[in-house]
Structures are given as structure tokens and as C-alpha cells.
Amino acid sequence: MWDESLIKKMQKTIRGGVFFNAPMSQHTSLHIGGPADALVFPQDQRDLETLVDMARQWAVPYLIMGKGTNLLVRDRGLRQLVVNLSSGFNQIFARGERIRVGAGTLLTEMIGFAMEGELSGLAPLYGIPGTVGGGLAMNAGAWGSEVKERIGSITVMNGEGRTRKVSREDLVFDYRELRLPEGTIIVEGTFLMERQKKEKIEEEITSYQQRRRETQPLDFPSAGSIFKNPPGASAGRIIEELGLKGKRVGGAEVSTIHGNFIINTGDATASHVLELIHLIQTRVLQEKGITLEPEIRIVGE
Ligand code: EPU
């Protein structure tokens, strides 16, 4: 699929970083994943348009990622063009109570920026390690708040490289999901915040951070919650009730702190994590009659 001319063209025309055979373990929070055929960090919209155009011309499928904090890449990697938006697309502007922010900006950075300007709204989400684009794509949430509550509009690029703005009324959010047509790339979001004293926001952020530290295993690589919560129940609690905390497959372990986290204790592979996921799903189905659906995105070969 990747002949010399495509590689050369990419290196010549893309201004951001272009890497071939790039180990995804270096680009995911789980520190797991085989190589991507090509991993590209577009610097700006022009780079992204060029990439989308190349992918179309060469009939190469692309995968869009941010910080890789909700992503499990299988051990043999990705026969795809992986487009990582986490190093470009990080502009932030505030106008009145609106914040316009690039998809590659960290959610936490955006919330911190808002706080400096005495704008509040997403404090519970502070500490989520992903990007704004990732947070929008999966309607990230914590402590009863979700990204969707503050969204004004998003700017998206389609598979033809054309961008358009989609306003809040036309966006369909679900639990951990924003419904968008296949191939849609989120490049920017506008959030509607509200005025609040900086000290008040700081206090709020600190208390959520503390709760996060007390209830989640932050000292080991993970991808956050592994499963979606089933309606009316908590995946973490169910896993705990079945005595599965501390269960290990290879280097993957069900966190002893939070049952819905799988941590990489050092040498975990994607196969270990997938085997552990399967084991949990089987036990939960057998003993509780509940199907646990992964919340993380599982990709690759
Ligand atoms: N619980 C247990 N045992 C456990 C874990 C949790 O009994 O091992 C209980 C807790 O005591 C609590 C309930 O289950 O009563 C819910 O737990 P928690 O407050 O930790 O929230 P969660 O539903 O497990 C969700 C999000 C998290 C987010 C937290 C905090 C999902 C899938 N996960 O977890 O998001 O940080 O709420 O609001 O909705 C993520 O999306 O990656 C993520 C970490």
C-alpha cells in the first residue's frame, strides 16, 4: 500500500511530523500498541486537507486520534494512515463567554485557560487526560457533567477535505458518543461558558481532582474506564462484586482501586488487555446477565 512515491510526497508536502512504522505504544496512554504504517501530526488545517486528499487519492483508510487516552491499539498495529491532531490544532480564543478551541488542545488546558479568564462550566472534566477533539467525539464526562452541556458549535472536515460548522441544535450526543458521519474529523469546538470568580472555579477543580485521585488509579498507564456503565448500574461496582479486582492476564491488571480500569503494570500487550476484557465480559454476562460494552476504542490488527 505504501510505495516510495507516497512516502516521499507526504514528507515533502506535510509540514508537521511524518513517521513510518511508528510504534503506537509511544502514542497511547496505555503504552500499548503495534506500529502504525504512517503516523502524521498535521500542523494546521492545510496539512490536514492535504492528508485527507492523499488518503482519498491513494485509497488509504485514515484514523483520527488525539492523545490516545481512550484507545487500545492491537499488537500488530495499524495498516492505516494515522492522523494525530494532538500537536497542531491547539489554538484557544475567548470572546465574551465563548471559547473557541482547536481539537488538539488538552481538555484540561482549555478548562485552565477558561478559569484564568474567570469562565466556568466544565470544571468536573478537569483532569481528563484527552484532547478537546477526543472529548467531543466521545462526549466525555465526569462527575455528572458532559462535554455536550457546554458545546455551542463544532467545525468538522469531511472526507473530501471540506470544512463546515455544525451548531449545537444539529448535533446528536449520546452517552459517551457524538453521532457524526463516518470519516468526519472534528477540527474545532466552541464552548459556551459562564462568568465565575477564579477562586471559586479553582476550588471546584481542586475538589474534583481530589475525588479523582482517591477513586482512580492515576499512577499506572490506563485508558480510563474500559466499559460503558450499563443502564442504571456501575461497571466498576459489578466488577468489584464479582471479585475481579486485581485479576491479571500477563501485564494487564484490573485495578484494585477502580474495577472499571485496566492498568498496564509494565509489560502488558493488547492481547493481555483483550483477554482480560473478554474474561470480565463473560463472567458479568454469566453471573449478572449484563452485557458490558467497551467504552474504549479498539483498533488495529
Ligand atoms: N464503585 C465500586 N467499585 C469500584 C468502582 C466504583 O463500588 O471498583 C462504585 C463507586 O463507589 C460509585 C459507583 O460505583 O458508587 C460509580 O463509580 P465512579 O464514581 O468511580 O464512576 P464510574 O461510573 O465508574 C464514571 C466515568 C468516569 C468518570 C467517573 C467520575 C464512565 C464509563 N466512566 O465512572 O470516566 O471519571 O464517572 O465521574 O461513565 C472515563 O470515561 O474514562 C472515565 C474515567
- Cβ–ligand 1 distance for 146 under 6 Å, the answer no
- Cβ–ligand 1 distance for 240 under 6 Å, the answer yes
Cell 481538555 appears where? 107
Active site residue 295: yes
Active site residue 176: yes
Section 181-207 average pLDDT: 97
- Cβ–ligand 1 distance for 161 under 6 Å, the answer no
Section 20-29 average pLDDT: 97
- Cβ–ligand 1 distance for 25 under 6 Å, the answer no
Q: What pLDDT does 4 receive?
A: 77
Q: What pLDDT does 115 receive?
A: 98
Q: What pLDDT does 1 receive?
A: 63
Of these residues, 146, 188, 253, 295, which one is catalytic?
295
Ligand 1 pocket mutation, candidates 28, 125, 215, 295, criterion most atoms within 8 A of CB: 215
Helix (H, G, I), strand (E, B) or coil at 13: helix
- Cβ–ligand 1 distance for 75 under 6 Å, the answer no
- Tell me the pLDDT tens digit for each residue of 64-115: 999 999 999 999 999 999 999 999 999 999 999 999 999 999 999 999 999 9
Section 12-34 average pLDDT: 96
- Tell me the pLDDT tens digit for each residue of 211-225: 999 999 999 999 999
Sign for the CA dihedral angle at 201, 203, 207, 213 comes to positive
Active site residue 225: yes
Contact indicator for 225, 156 with CB cutoff of 8 Å: no
- Output the CA 57–ligand 1 centroid distance in Å: 44
3-state secondary structure 99-147: EEEECCCEHHHHHHHHHHCCEECCHHHCCCCCEHHHHHHCCCEECCEEH
- Tell me the pLDDT tens digit for each residue of 153-189: 999 999 999 999 999 999 999 999 999 999 999 999 9
- pLDDT at residue 197 is higher than 70: yes
- Tell me the pLDDT tens digit for each residue of 215-254: 999 999 999 999 999 999 999 999 999 999 999 999 999 9
| HSE-up of residue 153 (Cα within 13 Å, Cβ side) | 9
Picking from 177, 50, 167, 29, the residue whose alpha carbon sits closest to that of residue 98 is 167
Gap between the Cα atoms of 266 and 54, Å rounded: 37
Of these residues, 176, 188, 253, 255, which one is catalytic?
176
